[in-house]
């Protein structure tokens, strides 16, 4: 008996990881969520910072515009008040009026300097500094040199005109800055929309990448499970991904090796038991044949009947053993059979010819058309498939019935349909009709062991094809589909 393979999880060599996966699947999910949310968070942060800056700029602009509007109106008015005070001084010669003039002058100069310091009107600062310089020179001359007040009043009148022009230019500058601010706001809105679009696009791309990554990880796991389910135990299972997924892959490969060992044990036991049964079975058949032929003397009627029962059961047991061996062979046909190119229609005709005697005994008629199609596969295996279907059709067909065989090409598949006029397969049995040893309730009266369809199914799948029971009333309708170019290796 073959030994079971032993796998040591601590010493088994692991192939290098192709991608820098996190150490666990949970970390992979969390990292994926972070990458998906990061573009939107960056877009939101960019929008918040931009809006904050725009708000600060708008507040500064509103404050400077309001101050410029107020001072632009007050500067000429202050000069008018200063001129009125000088006129009063010329008439009254009251020194207190000069003190009033000094107060008005200080207020005007303070407002002028404040007007010049407005950042929004920085282009007008030199002009206002010039106005302040001229006024200071005229006032110093008035105070120190005793110039007549009309000269100072003339300077004030000129400054009043210039201040009014500065106020007009300041208003125009404010309007221009407001227009620029509006254009910046529109541009910022467009940038925010673009940032949102880029963030959403990046999020979608990260989601797609994450989905592809998860699909790849789960796809490997699913393929590994499907490989085990399909009985393909020769291929080593290796799952790439986080550490816990790789660990699960090692467990699955251990399960594969365990199943492979169990399958080898089953095959060994089946072959050994079959071999051990064939020898006494052959002796039993030979003995029953000798008794039937009278080698030990003539038999009575009861004795002949008992011998016949023994012989028939020996034959039935021989058929069962051969079927089990054939089923076991079909399970491994995918990796052991030798494929050759053959005319499928000619193979079908040869199988039909071998059943002509059985069909003639039941007065059956073969009908249908066989298209000349070439397939690649094992000749013995495909012969077994067709033979099982044709023999079933003959076995379950009524006396004088018709067995129809049609071979056609459907795209890149050769499709053989075998139809009889027997009792068919009940709906409740259709799902289990290809299981080993299963026999439908309506067919148990006919001799058989229930292995023919299971063997045909296994051989068909080994060729990369399908064997199905068509849903058709009246008789059984089986369809075999095989690739025109044969099984891909």
Q: Give the torsion through C-alpha atoms of 410, 412, 339, 225, to 10 deg.
A: -100
Question: Given the DSSP bridges, would you call strands 413-419 and 402-410 parallel, antiparallel or unpaired?
Answer: antiparallel
Cβ 412 vs Cβ 374: under 8 Å: no
Class of domain 26-205: mainly alpha
Unique residue bearing structure tokens 């067995």? 403
Equal fold, 26-205 vs 337-483: no
Helix residue ranges per DSSP H, 7-24:
none
Unique residue bearing structure tokens 């079908």? 348
Residues of the chain with pLDDT under 50: 1-17, 445, 486-489
What's the pLDDT at 15? 41
Q: Give the torsion through C-alpha atoms of 198, 203, 204, 210, to 10 deg.
A: 150
Instruction: Report the C-alpha gap between 457 and 435 in whole angstroms.
Output: 9
What's the pLDDT at 486? 46
Residue whose C-alpha is closest to residue 207's, from 41, 40, 33, 21: 33
Cβ 479 vs Cβ 410: under 8 Å: no
What's the pLDDT at 370? 92
Residue whose C-alpha is closest to residue 476's, from 449, 448, 440: 440
Instruction: Report the C-alpha gap between 124 and 72 in whole angstroms.
Output: 12
Q: What DSSP letter does each residue of 90-115 carry, written as one string? A: HHH--HHHHHHHHHHHHHHHHHHHHH
Helix (H) or strand (E) holding 33: helix 25-92
Question: Is 478 exposed, middle or buried (CB count within 10 Å of its CB: 0-12, 13-18, 19+)?
Answer: buried
**β partners of residue 407:** 370, 416
Task: Read off the pLDDT of residues 396-453 as tens digits, 9 standing for 90 and up.
Answer: 888 988 999 999 999 889 999 999 888 888 777 777 888 877 666 555 545 556 677 8
What's the pLDDT at 18? 53
Q: Looking at the whole model, is its pTM more than 0.75?
A: no
Unique residue bearing structure tokens 């033979």? 387
What's the pLDDT at 13? 36
Instruction: Report the C-alpha gap between 324 and 335 in whole angstroms.
Output: 19
Residues 6+ apart with CB under 8 A from 151: 138, 141, 142
CB atoms closer than 10 angstroms to residue 337: 20
CATH of domain 337-483: 3.30.565.10
CB atoms closer than 10 angstroms to residue 457: 23
Unique residue bearing structure tokens 């009246």? 474
CA 486 to chain centre: 31
Q: Where do the domains of the chain lie?
A: 26-205, 247-330, 337-483
What's the pLDDT at 67? 87
What's the pLDDT at 409? 92
Instruction: Report the C-alpha gap between 442 and 210 in whole angstroms.
Output: 54
Task: Read off the pLDDT of residues 344-365 as tens digits, 9 standing for 90 and up.
Answer: 999 999 999 988 988 888 899 9
């Amino acid at each position: 008996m073959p030994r079971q393979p032993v796998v040591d999880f601590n010493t088994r060599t692991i192939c290098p990881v192709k991608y820098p996966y996190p150490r666990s699947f949970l970390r992979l999910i969390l990292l994926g969520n972070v990458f998906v949310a990061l573009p939107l968070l960056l877009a939101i942060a960019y929008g918040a910072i931009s809006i904050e800056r725009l708000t600060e700029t708008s507040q500064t602009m509103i404050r400077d515009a309001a101050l410029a509007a107020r001072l632009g109106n007050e500067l000429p008015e202050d000069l008018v008040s200063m001129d009125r005070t000088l006129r009063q001084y010329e008439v009254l010669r009251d020194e207190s009026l000069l003190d009033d003039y000094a107060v008005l002058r200080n207020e005007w100069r303070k407002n002028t300097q404040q007007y010049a310091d407005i950042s929004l009107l920085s282009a007008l600062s030199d002009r206002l500094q010039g106005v302040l310089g001229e006024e200071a020179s005229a006032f110093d001359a008035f105070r120190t040199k005793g110039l007549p007040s009309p000269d100072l009043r003339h300077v004030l009148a000129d400054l009043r005109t210039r201040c009014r022009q500065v106020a007009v230019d300041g208003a125009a500058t404010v309007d221009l800055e407001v227009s620029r601010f509006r254009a910046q706001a529109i541009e910022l809105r467009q940038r925010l929309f673009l940032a949102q679009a880029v963030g959403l696009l990046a999020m979608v791309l990260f989601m797609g990448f994450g989905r592809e990554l998860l699909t790849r990880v789960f796809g490997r796991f699913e393929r590994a499970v499907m490989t085990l389910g399909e009985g393909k135990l020769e291929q080593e299972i290796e799952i790439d991904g986080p550490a816990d997924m790789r660990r699960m892959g090692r467990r699955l490969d251990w399960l594969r090796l365990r199943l492979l060992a169990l399958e080898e044990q089953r095959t060994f036991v089946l072959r050994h038991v079959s071999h051990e049964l064939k020898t006494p079975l052959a002796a039993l058949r030979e003995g029953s044949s000798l008794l039937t032929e009278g080698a030990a003397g003539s038999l009575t009627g009861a004795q002949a009947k008992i011998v016949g029962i023994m012989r028939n059961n020996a034959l039935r047991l021989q058929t069962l053993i051969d079927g089990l061996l054939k089923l076991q062979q079909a399970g491994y046909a995918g990796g052991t059979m030798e494929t050759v190119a053959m005319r499928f229609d000619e193979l079908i005709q040869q199988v039909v010819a071998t059943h002509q005697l059985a069909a003639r005994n039941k007065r059956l008629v073969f009908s249908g058309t066989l298209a000349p199609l070439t397939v690649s596969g094992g000749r013995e295996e495909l012969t077994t498939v067709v033979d099982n279907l044709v023999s079933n059709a003959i076995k379950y067909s009524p006396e004088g019935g018709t067995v129809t065989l049609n071979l056609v090409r459907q795209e890149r598949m050769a499709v053989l349909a075998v139809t009889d006029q027997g009792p068919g397969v009940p709906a409740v049995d259709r799902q289990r009709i290809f299981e080993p040893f299963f026999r439908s309730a309506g067919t148990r009266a006919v001799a058989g062991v229930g292995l023919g369809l299971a063997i045909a199914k296994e051989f068909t799948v080994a060729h990369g094809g399908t064997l199905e029971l068509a849903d058709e009333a009246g008789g059984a309708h089986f369809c075999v589909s095989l690739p025109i170019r044969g099984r891909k290796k």
